[in-house]
Structure 1
Amino acid sequence: MKRCTESFTIWRDGAPVAFTAGQLVDDKHPILKSHKHLFAEPQATAGHAPPAQLKPVEEATASPGENRTLTPPAAPADSSQTPFDPGEHTAPDVIEYLKGADEEERARVLAAEAAGRGRKGILGDAGSKE
Structure 2
Amino acid sequence: MKRCNESFTIWRDGAPVAFTAGQLVDDKHPILKTHKHLFGELEASSGHAQPSTLRPVEQATADPGQPRSLTPPASTGGEDKAPADYDPGEYNAPEVVEYLKTATEEERDRVLAAEAAGRKRKSILGDTKES
Instruction: Name the TM-score class by shorter chain.
Output: 0.3 to 0.5
**Greater gyration radius:** 1
Q: Under a length normalisation based on structure 2, what TM-score does the superposition of the two structures give? A: 0.44
Higher relative contact order, structure no. (Cα contacts within 8 Å, ≥ 6 residues apart): 2
Q: Under a length normalisation based on structure 1, what TM-score does the superposition of the two structures give? A: 0.44
